[in-house]
Amino acid sequence: MPAPRPAPADHLHITPEPQIHATPKRLDAAPARHDATPTRLDRIPPATPTPRDRLATLRLISGIPLHSLRKTARTMRYRLHFLHLIPAALLLAPAAEAAESPKKGEPALTAQTMRSGGERPPEQRSVRFDSADLQFELLPDRYRLNGIATLNFTATAPVSRLVIDLDRNLPVSALAIDGRTLPRSAYANREGQLTVTLPRPLRAGEKVTARITYGGTPHVAVNAPWDDGVVWSKIPDGKLWFATTAEGYGCDLFWPCLDFPEGEPGVVDLHITVPAGLKAPSNGRLIGVDTLADGRTRWNWRTRNPNTYALALNVGPYEEVSGSYKSRYGNTIPMHYWYLPGERAKAEKLFAEFAPTLDFFESVVGPYPFGDEKLGVVETPHKGMEHQTINAYGNDYAKAIEGFDWLFQHEFTHEWFANQLTAANWDDYWLHEGYGSYMQPAYGEWREGRARYAAMMNGQRGTIQNKVPIVQGRVVTEEEVYEADKGGAGQDIYVKGSWMLHTLRYLIGDTDFWNVTRLAVYGRTDPRPGNFRPRFGSSKEYEGFVRQVTGHDYGWFFDVYLRQAALPDLTMTRTGNRVDLAWTVPGGGAFPMPVEVSVDGKVQTIAMPNGRGSIGNVPAGAHVVLDPDARILRRSEAVEEMQRWQAEQRAKRPPRK
């Protein structure tokens, strides 16, 4: 996600200029059909509609009021019998529907739903999430989301219950295990974890399929993407502009999932039904778009190994610019950008950044991890988020001195550092955001050279807080990392992480640094399309890669930068013709970080075994500058004083409403 921004004004999304009257591009010219035949195909053939899909389609055209069906079923006491005959999505509508948008933050979430990651129950540790088929039906007139999720798990240990995360604002109306509908008594969702007693316990290696029918009023984000939920927005002509974010509170905000980083399903099929005239760009490859009899469209996507919070619903009257990129690795990568009507010129300029940015990453890091799916970006009514292959973009086409859009570039970075390499525990999310932030200066350097790099690094330096260590050494939730008031390092996982990487690159050199980076991202130094899969990593593993590549143990480096709050402090003492340097580090351990020193403009590198070093023959009047190229993240009294002054200024201002 984008780095937290201290000024509230930066959180505001500026509404696109009100010249939006261009007719949205037609989805396709195919007439409405009564079957579910896709009207547009990608490279792989559409899945044959299952009997369930056909039935659902037929029900959608039947015109029977949904709540009357439900009431009938209840009155006749044939509920369970009836349920398996009726497409469950149609049984969900409660008698009273919200006609007005729920307010921000409503309906309220349980503490369990707001948690993402952290320690998980043994039932969740005992299953592998093989695949998911997720049907969504968005009903904006009622601010409602219905879903049917078919989840396939393999037991990795004996297990008698499934524990699946799902916001209880989306109540479950039917649940089947391996095709058999369970009685209500077999499942419950009290606090946001759906607990299902299996008809029979599973042994390790056995598979199970859970089909969950659910729906309701999804939680509305207060300030996406810094908190999460759905965003009901409109473009000036009144058409719907809808988005979801889930990094903080997790995937369980709108689909039943395993809400911790390692809960990634292997393959996900998405089927997103939206009002006529709107589009639903989403993750992975477009399998096809079905036109339903009532004019609505169903967008079918397939993606593999999505990060749990990376699945996203985006709905709007989008127009699209697309093209393809011929990779240096021989493959061709489809590129798509979905933007709001009336913004074509701006959209094309942003789209023009896609190929050179891709070239940078493929040159410096390695192959785009999802080249067999797409590079996708969609304009959203919130700032941005690393939604795998459908990155959210809400930076209003801002122009900057660097000459590229930092938000697009930052979220795109996460395809490598978040979606391909995923930290298994939120505690190690500097791997996402530290790299995610470092790659903007690295791209500045790639484009324009060292001065741009230095200027961009300097921009980050003044925001490092050093109040809490980046890594806490335990299993934590997302908020325990991102939220300073919950004890997290907050934006230090971005900027301090970035500066740590900058320092590491100096310490071990460019070649080793990028080889370590490749090992962390792909698990190998020779990645090519097809020879790697998305992987999980950790800080400890990263340290191991540094040791493997360099042949040296840099534990002293990571112990200070990751596991201590305060920065190493370099002091200089001049005695006669002698300059003595000494590192003081929190924790008091070794810190043999070599230091460049300029003496009257001549730079030499001083080895610092045991954290100490000296230079002789320095005339008393010589001008000495330590670390003249600012290669090392170290304590700066100037930064500390500036931050104190800034805090005083903030305290003087009247509180913003």
Contacts with Zn ion by CB under 5 A lie at 1, 433, 436
Strand bridging mode 159-165 / 193-202:
antiparallel
Q: Which helix (H) or strand (E) holds 68?
A: helix 66-75
For residues 16 and 394, which CB has a smaller minimum distance to Zn ion in the complex?
394
Distance of alpha carbon 244 from alpha carbon 234, whole angstroms: 14
For residues 367 and 384, which CB has a smaller minimum distance to Zn ion in the complex?
384
CB of 46 to Zn ion, least distance (A): 34
Which residues touch 372 (CB under 8 Å, ≥6 apart)?
285, 331, 529
CB of 408 to Zn ion, least distance (A): 12
CB of 466 to Zn ion, least distance (A): 20
What residues form DSSP beta bridges with 137?
Answer: 146, 273
For residues 438 and 514, which CB has a smaller minimum distance to Zn ion in the complex?
438
Can you list the positions of beta strands (E) in 156-312?
159-165, 172-177, 180-181, 187-189, 193-202, 207-216, 229-234, 240-245, 267-274, 285-291, 297-304
Distance of alpha carbon 524 from alpha carbon 174, whole angstroms: 45
For residues 244 and 297, which CB has a smaller minimum distance to Zn ion in the complex?
244
For residues 430 and 558, which CB has a smaller minimum distance to Zn ion in the complex?
430
Cα distances (Å, whole numbers) of residue 502 to 474, 497, 514: 26, 9, 12
CB of 407 to Zn ion, least distance (A): 9
For residues 247 and 541, which CB has a smaller minimum distance to Zn ion in the complex?
247
CB of 386 to Zn ion, least distance (A): 6
Residues 32/293, Cβ–Cβ less than 8 Å = yes
Distance of alpha carbon 536 from alpha carbon 544, whole angstroms: 14
Q: Could you give the count of Cα atoms lying within 13 Å of 367 in the half-sphere of its Cβ?
A: 27
Distance of alpha carbon 444 from alpha carbon 167, whole angstroms: 42
Query: CA 187 from chain center: how many Å?
Result: 30
CB of 159 to Zn ion, least distance (A): 34
Give which of 191, 133, 182 is closest to 161, Cα–Cα: 182
Q: Which helix (H) or strand (E) holds 450?
A: helix 450-461
**Residue nearest to Zn ion as judged by C-beta position:** 436
CB of 394 to Zn ion, least distance (A): 13
CB of 410 to Zn ion, least distance (A): 6
For residues 1 and 138, which CB has a smaller minimum distance to Zn ion in the complex?
1
For residues 1 and 292, which CB has a smaller minimum distance to Zn ion in the complex?
1
Distance of alpha carbon 336 from alpha carbon 326, whole angstroms: 14
For residues 436 and 523, which CB has a smaller minimum distance to Zn ion in the complex?
436
Residues 581/595, Cβ–Cβ less than 8 Å = yes
Give which of 377, 349, 394 is closest to 224, Cα–Cα: 394
CB of 379 to Zn ion, least distance (A): 18
For residues 439 and 632, which CB has a smaller minimum distance to Zn ion in the complex?
439
